[in-house]
């Protein structure tokens, strides 16, 4: 193996320590305790685990954490009404509506009801637009996690050729905007792109968010490139064991890349802690005090 492994857990632990210190400062200087409200609709077991981890992390950082669990039969109007109540609650600075929602509830209706100042997942059109304008304070959590990993691994990425594979609202689009803001030369690829291997071969940085197990092959990657694997896919291997893999064929890519994120333990480890970063920033914004630099 030639690539150095980017240890997402270690980077997340370092950010966590900074957030704890800034939370103590915010309380001591201004009496502000950041508050995160989570909303879960239905009983999807994976979503329940994600939400529980978010609440636990918020509490461990010294935040106020409240959770609302609605039945899978809850109506769109009920979810929208809960979001509006949380918008008006001064002790709640961040609202996280766990997606996906049950099929009878339109995500757009719920996101449209969400106060952009409390949109700590940065999914509302206002926050997407602010990102495009270079004025966003709340940035989608996984793309922000990727940028922190890149900055701490590579330093200045100005002029680098960066390829983002995937153009979702949740990841690909905000990731491309952040890379552009960091002065990379950005290419976005998607399911209609021609010759993905060719696009990969010229990239100094590859960010793969496709949702297809081990799709990016080692022989597509330029020697020394930095490969960030956002994908989380559960597969059953030849021996019948279930395990998580990314969108990149890890072992063969690690033979050629300069840096690579593992799955698990790479990008995924950064997402929750970036949600907490957004909640801290949202709390400072809502009280009009200087934004913590983290
Ligand atoms: P998504 O909404 O399904 O988007 C997938 C993207 O991949 C689409 O833009 C699609 O192109 C593109 N794509 C599909 N097949 C392709 C192909 N053959 N060649 C090139 N591009 C192709 O998924 P997502 O929400 O962005 O998530 C992507 C992956 O990241 C998933 O595995 C997800 O679990 C993971 N993820 C992890 C985290 C985390 O670490 N916490 C957070 C978010 C996502 P089209 O637009 O043309 O369909």
Nearest Cα neighbor of 163 from 245, 247, 244 is 247
Residues 50, 163: one domain?
no
Q: What's the CATH number where 60 sits?
A: 3.40.50.10860
In a domain, 279, yes or no: no
Q: Which domain holds residue 146?
A: 141-269
- What is residue 35's predicted lDDT score, i.e. its pLDDT? 98
- 90 occurs within a structural domain: yes
**The predicted structure's pLDDT at residue 154:** 98
Q: Is the beta carbon of 209 within 6 A of some atom in ligand 1? A: yes
pLDDT score of 237 = 87
What does the alpha-carbon distance between residue 191 and residue 207 come to, in Å, rounded to a whole number? Answer: 15
Residues 94 and 199 in one domain: no
Average pLDDT, the chain: 97
> 119, 121, 204, 247: which is the annotated catalytic residue?
121
Q: How many angstroms separate the alpha carbon of residue 193 from the centre of ligand 1?
A: 14
Q: Over 90: is that where the pLDDT of 104 sits?
A: yes
Instruction: Reply yes or no on whether 9 is catalytic.
Output: no
Q: Establish if 5 belongs to a structural domain.
A: no
Q: pLDDT digit string (tens) for 168-197?
A: 999 999 999 999 999 999 999 999 999 999
Whether 129 maps to a domain, the answer reads: no
* C-beta of residue 6 within 8 angstroms of C-beta of residue 153: yes
Assess whether 249 and 172 both reside in one domain: yes
- Nearest CA to 269 among 6, 3, 2? 6
Our mutation pick for probing the ligand 1 site, out of 8, 190, 199, 207, counting the most ligand atoms within 8 A of Cβ, is 190
> What is the pLDDT averaged over residues 54-69?
98
Return the pLDDT at 17. 97
- 175 and 242 together in one domain: yes
The answer on pLDDT for 127 being more than 90 is yes
Check whether residue 45 and residue 106 sit in a common domain.
yes
Give the integer Cα–Cα distance in Å for 268 and 50. 11
> Is 195 an annotated catalytic residue?
no
| CATH number of the domain to which 171 belongs | 3.40.50.720
pLDDT band for 289, please (50, 70, 90 cuts). Answer: very high
- Positive or negative CA dihedral for 260, 151, 231, 225? negative
- Percent share of the chain, pLDDT over 90: 98
Residue 10 lies in a domain: no
Two structure tokens written together for 236: 């059953």
Q: Evaluate whether residue 111 is within a structural domain.
A: yes
Contacts of 134 (CB under 8 A, 6+ apart): 181
Q: Is residue 126 assigned to a domain?
A: no
* Residue 62, phi then psi, degrees to nearest 5: 95, 15
Q: Which of 90, 68, 91 shows the shortest CA–CA distance to 80?
A: 68
pLDDT score, position 60:
97
- Choosing from 193, 199, 211 the residue with most ligand 1 atoms within 8 A of its CB, the one to mutate for a pocket test is 211
Task: Indicate which residue of 22, 98, 173, 177 is catalytic.
Answer: 98
Mark whether 66 and 164 lie in a shared domain: no
Is 274 a pocket residue for ligand 1 (Cβ < 6 Å)?
no
Which tens digits make up the pLDDT trace of 221-258? 999 999 999 999 999 988 999 999 999 999 999 999 99
Tell me whether residue 20 is in a domain: no
Residues 155 and 254 occupy one common structural domain: yes
Do 7 and 261 touch, CB atoms closer than 8 A? no
- Which of 139, 163, 210 has most ligand 1 atoms within 8 Å of CB, for mutation? 210
Q: Report how many domains make up the chain.
A: 2
């Amino acid at each position: 193996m030639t690539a150095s492994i980017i240890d997402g857990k270690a980077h997340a632990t370092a950010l966590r320590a900074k957030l704890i210190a800034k939370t103590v400062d915010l309380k001591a200087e201004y009496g502000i305790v950041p508050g995160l409200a989570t909303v879960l609709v239905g009983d999807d077991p994976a979503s329940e685990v994600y939400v529980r981890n978010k609440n636990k992390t918020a509490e461990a950082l010294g935040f106020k954490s409240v959770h609302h669990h609605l039945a899978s039969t809850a109506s769109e109007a009920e979810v929208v009404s809960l979001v509006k109540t949380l918008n008006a609650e001064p002790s709640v600075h961040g609202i996280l509506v766990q997606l996906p929602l049950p099929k009878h509830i339109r995500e757009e209706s719920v996101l449209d009801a969400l106060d952009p100042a409390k949109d700590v997942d940065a999914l509302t059109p206002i926050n997407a637009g602010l990102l495009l304008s270079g004025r966003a304070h709340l940035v989608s959590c996984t793309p922000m996690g990727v940028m922190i990993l890149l900055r701490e691994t590579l330093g200045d990425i100005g002029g680098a050729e960066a390829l983002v594979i995937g153009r979702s609202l949740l990841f690909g689009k905000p990731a491309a905007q952040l890379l552009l803001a960091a002065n990379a030369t950005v290419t976005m690829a998607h399911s209609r792109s021609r010759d993905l291997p060719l696009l990969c071969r010229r990239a100094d940085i590859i960010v793969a968010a496709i949702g297809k197990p081990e799709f990016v092959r080692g022989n597509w990657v330029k020697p020394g490139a930095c490969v960030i694997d956002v994908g989380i896919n559960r597969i059953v291997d030849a021996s019948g064991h279930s395990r998580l893999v990314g969108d990149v064929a890890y072992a063969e890519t690690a033979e050629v890349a300069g840096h690579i994120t593992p799955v698990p333990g790479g990008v995924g480890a950064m997402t929750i802690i970036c949600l907490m970063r957004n909640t801290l920033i949202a709390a400072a914004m809502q009280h009009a005090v200087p934004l913590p630099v983290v």
